[in-house]
Structure 1
Amino acid sequence: MTESGSLVSFPVLQVLYSAPELFLVGVETSYSDPKVDIWSLGMCLAELALNKLFWSTLKLSQRIRKVLSLLQTDTPIFEKIAREHNCYDQYLVLPEDLKEIIDLCLSISPNKRPTCKQLLQKECFQQFHPKPEQNPISKLCKPFQIFTIHEFYHWWQLAGGDVFQELKKQGLIRSSPPILSVPSLVLIEGTILGQERNPSTLYDPRIVQMPLDSLYRRFSHIPFAAFYPLIHSKSDIIAKADPPPYDATGLPLVIKERDPEYQLHRVILLRRLLHGYPFTKEFIINEAEEDIPPLLRGEIWAALLNIRASYKTDYLRVDKFTHTTTDRQIEVDIPRCHQYNELLSSAEGHKKLKRILKAWVSKNSKYVYWQGLDSLTAPFLYLHFNDEAKAFACLSAFIPKYLYNFFLKDNSAIIEEYLCKFSQLIAFHDPDLANHLHEIVFYPQLFAIPWFLTLFSHVFPLYKILHLWDKLLLCDSSFPIHIGLSILTQLRDRLLTSGFNECILLFSDLPEVDIEKCALLSLSTYQNTPRSITSREHENDLFRKRTELDISGVTLDELKKERCARISANDVVSLVRNQPRNALLIDIRNNIAFSRCSVKGSINIPFSSVPFSDKNIENLGINYSQIKSKGDKIVVIIGDEETDLERFPEFLLQCNISKVCVLHGGFSTLLPVTPTILTSNIPL
């Protein structure tokens, strides 16, 4: 935290217990050697053995000289210290094995000091070693720690604990007006006159115990069994005996995250599931759909991204230091990346972020560094600040799944396809808004590219990104499009009353967005939209399985011309078989073709009979009554090569009919489906 003391104006060490080399070589060099702690152990043991505080009456500088004077003694250091403190008689009666251990720990040369493992091999410690034959379980498992200090501190804060307030109460933090810290006079040599040194800038060794009463009171009624929840049980008797879960139904996510009791139950349950990863991954996914406790968010994200156990080794092998042409741009971007966050804005945060970005560029040679990649990395570094390798592993797993090929040098085709799908999704769910944006020529290219290139991490503050990505990681690569739609839905009233210039101004300084509402609305449209509506040619094949009945072969030029989305034969078959009440199938082939063979439950509106000049569906007669009263049904347009599969769907869109889509490949794609969903009056 202090870079071995270089960032503070006081020594971060206890002088008496510090090894001599710390004063000779320097703290920065010696702290990396564990042998300095062996010296400290020796000094502690010596004080305990003689029941004496060494040099307690001396000043700081005198203590340092005493420690350094030990370098010049010919006798064992422990004996010399005992003589100086008039404790030689006590020294003589000490057990020889104890004196041997202390003398070894107080060896002047660090190379001669033993390691912890070597110390524990001494005869006097053998009685404390468990014998395998007496305790066979010790071979199999380690004691399970109930709570970590990290978890305990988190719950304590939620229950109202505040470290700074407690330190102020005890007088360890004292605030004073800044004017009082200005010296009266500063000489050329740097000497300060007329101002005493502020004690708040000095190291204070006092220990303050934090009060735990409020936390204990908050948890006092929780039954013991709640600390060991069952993950899975097929027994109804056991399930009934298990205490009911803490009920937080209906509470906003922000309230849940600040409720210590709710977070206790969630952390205990999900921590147990994480201990069983990867075998418990399905359970983790099910619980993450409810919510993700902030304390375990980093570990749960890593589990959802399938991070392998070898991630640290993999990161060590990546070149993070060789100078590249992208270094300059990375150095420019990092100081602007979420600088309101204390971790990311720190010097150490900048170093870590730079190493991760350089490692990603080095490992992904086919990609280039695009502005915004730093914002994309920030959430992972924030959650894994003390595990840089895991942050890199999460980023490396995240990009291929959600931003496949977005960082190619020429990514225009990928971005254009993504924006076309976004426009079609808007038209699918909100034709009124889609028509208005189309009329004022306000296309997604003008505002949505930074959204999708950084998955909103460049648009929203970090805490909002964490909540959005909690849901994103449970879905596929189409989910960001639904997030974009949910943002437009929140701004819908203003957009419908705005022209082109007003819309430009609106998105140049995006208004406040309710992120919980955004996440819930995104999930709703995601779950109620057939997957093929948002499927793309440039998706990663590792995360999807295509069949002959899926959409493929659509060029970008064709996609740009189509305002309504295509739906695959697979999704149409699924609707007809499993959810026939949720679909309205409109066959626009001629009457003869329809009478010969058609999809079960479909209606016939021949393309040649459509009055394209009339944009009001209510004036089109009885044939259109089912369209008018369709409710929330998906409207599937089925045609063939003789019909215009762009004009009729666009006509319905202009009539403000929602959820309109076109069967990809036309009627003929349904002929080979087995078992068939077609009705036929003549043999096919």
Structure 2
Amino acid sequence: MQPLRDAELGASTFFASPLPHDVCGSNGLPLTPNSIKILGRFQILKTITHPRLCQYVDITRGKHERLVIVAEHYEKSLKDFLKQGKAVSPEKVLQVAYEVLEGLEFMNKHGMVHRALSPNNVLLDCVGKVKLAKFGLYHMTDHGADVDFPIGYPSYLPPEVIAQGCFYSSNPSIIEAPLPSGPKTDVWSLGVLLFELCVGRQILQNIDISERMKFIITLGCMDDIITVLAEEHGCLDTIKELPENVQALLRKCLTFLPSKRPTPAELLGDSVFESISCQYTPYQSPVRLFAAAPRCAHLQLPEDISELCKDDGENYLAERAIDEVYHLWCLAGGDLEKELTNQEIIQSKPPICTLPRFILEDGESFGQGRDRSFLLDDTTVTLSLNQLKNRLKDVTGETYYPLLEDEQSSLPQSNSSNELSATVTLPLIIRERDTEYQLTRIVLFDRLLKAYPYKKNQVWKEARVDIPPLLRGLAWAALLGVEGDIRSKYDGIDKDTPIPTDRQIEVDIPRCHQYDELLSSPQGHIKFRRVLKAWVVSHPDLVYWQVLLLFFLSALAYACMSAFIPKYLYNFFLKDNSHVIQEYLTVFSQMIAFHDPELSNHLNEIGFIPDLYAIPWFLTMFTHVFPLHKIFHLWDTLLLGNSSFPFCIGVAILQQLRDRLLANGFNECILLFSDLPEIDIERCVRESINLFCWTPKSATYRQHAQPNKPASDSNSFGKTPSYYSSEYQDLTKTDLSREPLKLSELKAEVSPRISVEDLIDLCELSGPAYFKTPVKRARTGKPKILAVDTRSLEDFSRGHIPGSINIPYNSTFGPEGELVQCPVTSTLAGYRFRVIVILSSIMKNATTFAAHLVKVNFPRVCVLDGGMNKMKSTGLLTVPSPQI
């Protein structure tokens, strides 16, 4: 997005054509409102940036198909020259023509035409450079098919457009729409506009459409349209006095036959601009974040270095991107409809005044005529930034230009720093609506993302606090490690050739979060379909599952999807994925037993297993469960964790429903999950983090998880251990790691296993064997832990883990595995808030012992994988046993 600088924010509004309520599409579903279609097509306009085009910022949808457009705006336009009644100098005419053509050529490269050129849509910035406004109206309305007014001004439309007449999608008498206008349409409009500048007044303004049609047909029979127009308006002498190149330019623009009329690109290279073309350098699009070219390739220091330190009155807000300013304007209380109502652009009427006209059989009509307010009002209202500036008056310059190194902690604090520090402790939904706080976060993330991947670690560090909604898409991509030229890779995938899964994708997309205006739009469906198809085509070994809808769009969406699925859903989409899914659900079941054994026991007793409710959770990473606004907050944290973090989210959801689940049977639980109650997403995130902190990292081991990346590819924060950092990412395989189990063996065990290396790390065993006082991982990354050795007292005395206690299996269970005495009340009651690791030389004894502890509702119970046989090789056992 371009900086705001001397520009303003302008708002304009119009109505889309209403559709009949009793008509359905070929699929039996209600027709998509035209306003939704326009909203979908508008999205591409926000990405088009050029010095000669006014930047589009936002579109909002109101009642009765009303749409409000926000875009870059300037008060000065070519209409101001015409109001003066004086001819513009030939040099200025050539300048305007060349700059308009630059903008038109750039639009044509993106498959668009303006079609609404007029003096009031050719704006001028503070230095007199051209800025084309409302250039996207023709594109977003599907060439005028979705609105009840013509796109363009009759006085400036070429003969071929006038001859086609008007087309409205709501008119049943017209079956086919006329062909859309091409680039040459704008060249004629430019010619009329330049002619007016040359003569100093507007022409063809007071002629009705039928008379103008006759006049244009007459022009078609003439050899020199310029001379005829000049004679018609009594300005022949003025035209003849123009330089030859200006006259030639007018003749080429006002060529009657479109086949002989040049395109903007052809006209730009014409000799008529030979005298001024050398003053302009070709526009180079800025390199985006994820591209092959270096983003700093075209940066240049000014000849006078003092220009960098020039004092502009401390208007720091003007240097921010225009979309940032608009976002902050909304947070500061900006209301588009209120602004338009204050300017009387939006006028409310009593319902009785809006009754439609109806006609009786005898031809007599009643009711209102056509409401003029539903036609296009070309007025643009300037949005005042005073309220926003007043809100940010105490924000100092350091906030707009933060240092990214550690030295920033020694900088003087701003007046509002204490308030911002307090804001961090508030709920996320409040922070996202706080203007000053969001300004601080947006500026910081903007700088960090521009330095990505160099500042990857700091992006992760700041994302732990929160992610500003305005930059969430780019931040997610950075967290997923997206790099390189993603556009070329995406464009190189064949997304057009039919494949067998096309039909399934077509069926699934209209069922995906259609309450969201963008996702429900035809353009949203198209982009969504192409992203999914690109993924299917580029992964021939995998198959498409109907629940795979991850809500990304475009090339960046595909890149994020390609990084997200291997990390969290590795091998989930194999043609035969039953073994992968079953292993995942079994580990999840063990996590429930680990953190909430009482709930686990109840669900197992009534037969309500994860297979019945959790498969959609994990296949879609909870997008099947929550609405989008909750998914955004959930994924902000999910993307910071490793592949086991979804287990903790699932347990956190169950714990919010704990009371209702414990009080109900199988049928009631099925009904409960068929219409899931409201979930407090912030509480869910907070509790899932706590659950993860208490989960030994090897407890969620899966043999079908993604193979580990080299240490250099993982995220690291040096001396800042966190459950987010690489220190707690998936394990690297060693001799002391967990061994894979057969699925049948895994299902037979209630409690998870942990590895020997995990036990050593959690007990902080090193060098001469000794037992340090363990610290809860919520504080330093390592939870309290207790090792329970179930071997005989004789074996225990020969060597054991420092700090462990001995509860012999033979004194607790009989020969057939029956319980003899319960160790909970006598020995383990005081250790309920620790992670209990059961170890033995016989794995069956350890798993049986752990299963009994779970049965009596003892939380955080796990089993040492490999038992004492693996532990003996470490040399960390101690003799004699200390007394507890």
What TM-score bracket applies, with the shorter chain setting the length?
Answer: 0.7 to 0.9
C-alpha separation in 2, matches of 1:116 and 1:523:
62
Deviation at 1:350, TM superposition (A): 2.0
Counterpart residue identity of residue 91, structure 1? I
Deviation at 1:669, TM superposition (A): 1.6
Query: Structure 2, unaligned stretches of length 5 or more?
Result: 1-139, 166-176, 283-295, 303-307, 309-317, 710-729, 766-771, 775-783
SS in 2 for 1:323: coil
SS in 2 for 1:140: coil
The 8 Å contact of residues 588 and 643 in structure 1, kept in 2 or not, is answered as no
Alignment of 1:489 onto 2:695: no
**Change beyond 3 A, Cα 1:233–1:644:** closer
Moved more, 226-235 or 174-183: 174-183
Which residue of structure 1 lines up, in the alignment, with residue 424 of structure 2? 249
Which residue of structure 2 lines up, in the alignment, with residue 662 of structure 1? 863
Q: Residue by residue, what CA displacement relative to the aligned partner does 1:354-409 show, whole Å, maximum 9, x if unpaired?
A: 22222222222222221211xx232x23xxxxxx2222222222112111111222
Query: Which among 123, 126, 131 is matched to residue 275 of structure 2?
Result: 123
Which residue of structure 2 lines up, in the alignment, with residue 185 of structure 1? 359
Moved more, 424-433 or 303-312: 303-312
Q: How does 1:356-435 map to 2 (within 5 A)?
A: 356-373=531-548, 376-378=549-551, 380-381=552-553, 388-435=554-601
**Change beyond 3 A, Cα 1:195–1:72:** farther
Counterpart residue identity of residue 219, structure 1? L
Which residue of structure 2 lines up, in the alignment, with residue 597 of structure 1? 799
Alignment of 1:16 onto 2:155: yes
C-alpha separation in 1, matches of 2:352 and 2:147:
19
Q: Residue by residue, what CA displacement relative to the aligned partner does 1:129-166 show, whole Å, maximum 9, x if unpaired?
A: 69xxxxxx996349998222222221111122222233
The 8 Å contact of residues 589 and 643 in structure 1, kept in 2 or not, is answered as no
Which residue of structure 2 lines up, in the alignment, with residue 49 of structure 1? 198
The 8 Å contact of residues 104 and 112 in structure 1, kept in 2 or not, is answered as no
SS in 1 for 2:846: coil
Which residue of structure 1 lines up, in the alignment, with residue 839 of structure 2? 638
Deviation at 1:235, TM superposition (A): 7.0
Q: How does 1:200-211 map to 2 (within 5 A)?
A: 200-211=373-384
In angstroms, what is the RMSD of aligned CA positions? 3.2
C-alpha separation in 1, matches of 2:345 and 2:631:
36
Aligned length: 657
C-alpha separation in 2, matches of 1:138 and 1:609:
75
Counterpart residue identity of residue 203, structure 2? F
Normalized per residue, the structure richer in helix is 1
C-alpha separation in 2, matches of 1:423 and 1:86:
89
Q: TM-score of the superposition, structure 2-length normalised?
A: 0.69
C-alpha separation in 2, matches of 1:546 and 1:39:
70
Counterpart residue identity of residue 613, structure 1? L
Which residue of structure 2 lines up, in the alignment, with residue 502 of structure 1? 668
Q: Residue by residue, what CA displacement relative to the aligned partner does 1:504-549 show, whole Å, maximum 9, x if unpaired?
A: 2211211110011111111221233121111211111155432222
C-alpha separation in 1, matches of 2:345 and 2:380:
10
Counterpart residue identity of residue 54, structure 1? I
Identity between Structure 1 and Structure 2 (%): 44
Query: Structure 1, unaligned stretches of length 5 or more?
Result: 131-136, 382-387
C-alpha separation in 1, matches of 2:334 and 2:877:
67
SS in 2 for 1:209: strand
Moved more, 215-224 or 577-586: 577-586
Deviation at 1:268, TM superposition (A): 1.1
C-alpha separation in 2, matches of 1:651 and 1:396:
43
**Change beyond 3 A, Cα 1:60–1:178:** farther
SS in 2 for 1:333: helix
Deviation at 1:441, TM superposition (A): 2.2
Deviation at 1:474, TM superposition (A): 0.9
**Change beyond 3 A, Cα 1:128–1:410:** closer
SS in 2 for 1:629: helix
Alignment of 1:562 onto 2:562: no
Query: Which among 848, 865, 876 is matched to residue 677 of structure 1?
Result: 876
Counterpart residue identity of residue 140, structure 1? L
Alignment of 1:111 onto 2:111: no
Q: TM-score of the superposition, structure 1-length normalised?
A: 0.88
SS in 2 for 1:661: strand
Alignment of 1:539 onto 2:688: no
C-alpha separation in 1, matches of 2:746 and 2:276:
79
Which residue of structure 2 lines up, in the alignment, with residue 649 of structure 1? 850
C-alpha separation in 2, matches of 1:194 and 1:642:
86
The 8 Å contact of residues 270 and 284 in structure 1, kept in 2 or not, is answered as yes
C-alpha separation in 1, matches of 2:364 and 2:865:
82
Which residue of structure 2 lines up, in the alignment, with residue 134 of structure 1? none
Which residue of structure 2 lines up, in the alignment, with residue 6 of structure 1? 145
Alignment of 1:91 onto 2:239: yes
C-alpha separation in 1, matches of 2:799 and 2:614:
43
Deviation at 1:307, TM superposition (A): 2.6
Q: Residue by residue, what CA displacement relative to the aligned partner does 1:230-284 show, whole Å, maximum 9, x if unpaired?
A: 1114476557699848331221111111112211111111111111111111111
The 8 Å contact of residues 356 and 367 in structure 2, kept in 1 or not, is answered as no
C-alpha separation in 1, matches of 2:843 and 2:358:
93
Deviation at 1:195, TM superposition (A): 4.5
C-alpha separation in 2, matches of 1:459 and 1:116:
56
C-alpha separation in 2, matches of 1:354 and 1:168:
39
SS in 1 for 2:878: strand
C-alpha separation in 2, matches of 1:61 and 1:227:
57
C-alpha separation in 1, matches of 2:355 and 2:634:
45
The 8 Å contact of residues 640 and 667 in structure 1, kept in 2 or not, is answered as yes
Deviation at 1:680, TM superposition (A): 4.5
C-alpha separation in 2, matches of 1:554 and 1:178:
74
C-alpha separation in 1, matches of 2:759 and 2:662:
32
